[in-house]
A and B are shown apart, each in its own frame.
Chain A
Amino acid sequence: MKNKVMTMKEAVRTHVHDGDTLVIEGFTHLICFAAGHEIIRQNIQDLVVFRLTPDLIYDQMIAAGCVRKVVFSWAGNPGVGPLYGLRRAVEQGIPRPIEIEEYTHFGMVARFVAGAAKLPFMHLNTFSGSSLPQKNKNIKKVKCPYTGKAFATVPALNPDVAIIHVQRVDKEGNAQIWGLMGVQREAAFASKKVIIVAEELVDSSVIRSDPNRTLIPGMKVEAVVIEPFAAHPSYAQGYYDRDNQFYVDWYKISKELKGMETYITDWIHGISGRNEYIKKMGKKKLSELKADRRLAAPVNYGY
C-alpha cells in the first residue's frame, strides 16, 4: 500500500503550479483554508479557480494576487455581506484585474458531474427566462433526440488540481466524509490530481469498517496531508463548529484594502503553517469551537 502522506508545503509545492486550474471545494463545510493559505505563502500566480461559492478563502487568494479568473455561482459572505476582495478585483483591478465566469449552483454542479463522468457537457433544466445565458456564452442548448425538447447545457469542468478536506483518511488516500458533502466527490473525480487534507489519519481497517462513508477512493488521490483544524473558519462536522463570528468579523477585516492586507500579512505570510495558526488563535477559541458528541447508531456490515 502506497504511503502518500506529506506536509502541506510539499503537497502544494509538488502539485499546484502557476497558471493551474484549481478547485478547493466544500459547501460551507470542510473548506480547506490551510491549503489556500499555503498557496498564498508560496506565491502561486495566475490560477483559474472554481468554486460554487468563492467564500472567504478565494476572497483571500484573490486579494493576495494569486488568481487570474474565478468561476462561480454565488459570490458572497453568507448571511453577512459581499466579498470585498473579489469586488475590489472585479471593480477596480486591485491587486490585479480578474476575469469572472458565472453560473448558477445547478450549472456548476452539472459542470463537475460532466467532468467526473468524462462527458463533454451535461444537460439540465434551468436558465430559461434568466439573463445569464446572454452573458455567459458557455451556456448553450441541446435538443433531446427522443422528445425534441430543448435543454440547457454546460461544459465539463476538468480542473488540474482538486483540494478536498475530509474528516478521516488512510495513508493511501481513501477519504471519508460525513455531514454536508457538497460536490466534493464530483470535483475530485473531475480533476487530474487530487490532494486530500484530513483532520485525522486512520488505519485502513477503520476505512474498511465503514466503506459506505468513503467519498473519494485512494486510487484518485495523489497526496495526503494530515492537518487538524485546516478548515477553520469553516468547519468539520463532529470535530469543530463553523466560526460564525469570524465570518461576521471578516466584513470589518476585509472592507478596506488595508485591513485585508494586514490580515494576509499577520495570519498567512507571518506564520509558517496551520500549527502556528492554531497557536495564534489560542486555546480558548479552540475549546469554544469544539464539537459536541453526537454518535450515530452503529450498523452491521456482516453477511
Chain B
Amino acid sequence: MNSVTPGEIMVTRAAKELKNGEVVFVGIGLPNLACNLARRLQAPDLVLIYESGAVGAVPSRLPLSIGDPCLVTDSISVCSMVEAFYYYLQGGMIDVGFLGGAQVDRFGNINSTVIGKYEKPKVRLPGSGGACEISIHSKKIIIILKQNKKTLPDKIDFITSPGYIDENNPRIEYEMPGRGPVLVITDLGVYTFSKHTHEMVLTEIHPGVPLSSIKENTGWEVKINDNLSTTTAPSKKELRIIREDLDPDKIYLR
C-alpha cells in the first residue's frame, strides 16, 4: 500500500471523533469523507444532515456538492432549507458541526470570506454559506484544514464563523447554544483548546512530523501540551475504505 497522504490521516483522525448515533451537520470535502468513513466503521447509525436539506443521507458515491442527488436517494427525510436552519440547526438537533475554511486563528475563529480588506479584497473567498450558524448552534465544532503560516495566521482579516472569538470567550455573553470548537485537525497535528485561555494547544502530532515543522507552519507561538502524543496512523482497513470506496478518483485526497 502506498504511503499515507496528509489528507488520509486528517480524514481518519476526524472519523474517530464521531460516535454512533450522533447527528452531524456535514460540509463538503474532507468532512464528508470523514463522516462516511465513520459510518462504515464505528458509527453505522451516524445521522448525516446536509444544509441542502438531506437528513439521514447515505450517499452511495462521493458527492461533489452538498446538494448531490445521491444524498436524497434512501435518506430518512428531505426538508426545505427553512427547516434545515430553523428547526434542525437552531432547534438544537445537531451534535457535531464539521467546518473547513481558508484561515483559522488561535481562538478557533474561521475566515472563509476574504483575505485583505472586505471592500478591496486580495482574495475574495466564497463566504459563509451555513458555516456561521453551524459554528453558533452545533453542540461542538470540529475544524479541518491544512496548516501553514497563511492558513493559521496570527490574525485573520474577517471572522466568518466564530470560535471562542477572543481570550474572554464572549460566546457565553452572547448566549450561543453551542460550546464552540473542540478540535482542529490539520495535516501536521491535532489541536484542542485551553479551558482558561481558549487558545489552540497542540495535543497530537502526526507520525513522522517534526515539532519544528509545527512551529514553522503556525503564525503565532503555538502552545504545546505537556503530554503530546503521536496521532494513530490510519489502519489498512481505513485506507482501503477511503481509497477503494469513498474517494477512488482522489477528488479530495490527491
Q: Which of A78-86, A196-204, A276-284 contacts B (4 or more CB under 8 A)?
A: A78-86
Q: Quick check: is B121 within 8 A (CB to CB) of the other chain?
A: yes
Q: List the B side residues contacting A180 at CB < 8 Å.
A: 52-54, 67, 71-72, 78
Contact yes or no, B160 A130, CB < 8 A: yes
Give the shortest distance, in Å, between B123 (CB) and chain A (any CB): 9
Q: Which of A220-228, A235-243, A265-273 contacts B (4 or more CB under 8 A)?
A: A235-243
Give me 22 A-to-B residue pairs in the complex whose CB atoms sit less than 8 angstroms apart, sorted by A's number. Answer: A74-B127, A78-B28, A78-B65, A79-B28, A90-B124, A104-B129, A106-B130, A126-B133, A126-B136, A130-B161, A131-B160, A132-B128, A132-B160, A180-B53, A182-B52, A182-B53, A185-B80, A186-B82, A237-B69, A242-B69, A244-B64, A244-B68
Question: Of A82, A124, A178, A182, which contacts B80 at CB under 8 A?
Answer: A182
Q: Quick check: is B73 within 8 A (CB to CB) of the other chain?
A: yes
A74 CA / B67 CA spacing, docked (Å): 13
Q: Quick check: is B106 within 8 A (CB to CB) of the other chain?
A: no
Q: Quick check: is B220 within 8 A (CB to CB) of the other chain?
A: no
Contact yes or no, B72 A106, CB < 8 A: no
Q: Quick check: is B189 within 8 A (CB to CB) of the other chain?
A: no
Interface SS of chain B: loop
Q: Quick check: is A288 within 8 A (CB to CB) of the other chain?
A: no
A126 CA / B176 CA spacing, docked (Å): 9
Q: List the A side residues contacting B53 at CB < 8 Å.
A: 27, 180-182
Q: List the A side residues contacting B128 at CB < 8 Å.
A: 73-74, 102-105, 130, 132
Q: Quick check: is B151 within 8 A (CB to CB) of the other chain?
A: no
Q: Quick check: is A175 within 8 A (CB to CB) of the other chain?
A: no
Q: Quick check: is B148 within 8 A (CB to CB) of the other chain?
A: no
Contact yes or no, B65 A104, CB < 8 A: no
Give the shortest distance, in Å, between B55 (CB) and chain A (any CB): 11
With A27-B53, A128-B174, A180-B54 in contact, do A105 and B126 touch (Cβ < 8 Å)?
A: no
Contact yes or no, B130 A131, CB < 8 A: no
Contact yes or no, A130 B159, CB < 8 A: yes
A92-123 CB mask vs B (1 if < 8 Å, else 0) is: 00000000001111100110110000000000
Question: Of A28, A129, A182, A241, which contacts B165 at CB under 8 A?
Answer: A129
Give the shortest distance, in Å, between B197 (CB) and chain A (any CB): 17
A210 CA / B130 CA spacing, docked (Å): 32
Contact yes or no, B82 A78, CB < 8 A: no
A149 CA / B173 CA spacing, docked (Å): 11
With A78-B28, A91-B124 in contact, do A247 and B65 touch (Cβ < 8 Å)?
A: yes
Question: Of A74, A131, A183, A294, which contacts B73 at CB under 8 A?
Answer: A294
With A52-B81, A105-B51, A105-B85 in contact, do A125 and B129 touch (Cβ < 8 Å)?
A: no
Interface SS of chain A: loop
> With A79-B29, A129-B171, A131-B158 given, can you name 19 additional A-B contacts, CB distance below 8 Å?
A27-B67, A73-B127, A74-B126, A74-B128, A75-B126, A76-B126, A76-B127, A78-B28, A78-B64, A105-B128, A124-B90, A129-B109, A129-B176, A131-B113, A131-B160, A149-B175, A178-B78, A180-B52, A186-B80
Nearest A-chain residue to B109, judged by Cβ: A129
Q: Quick check: is A41 within 8 A (CB to CB) of the other chain?
A: no
Contact yes or no, A130 B65, CB < 8 A: no
Nearest B-chain residue to A102, judged by Cβ: B127
Q: Quick check: is A251 within 8 A (CB to CB) of the other chain?
A: no
Give the shortest distance, in Å, between A205 (CB) and chain B (any CB): 25
Question: Of A27, A78, A87, which contacts B124 at CB under 8 A?
Answer: A87
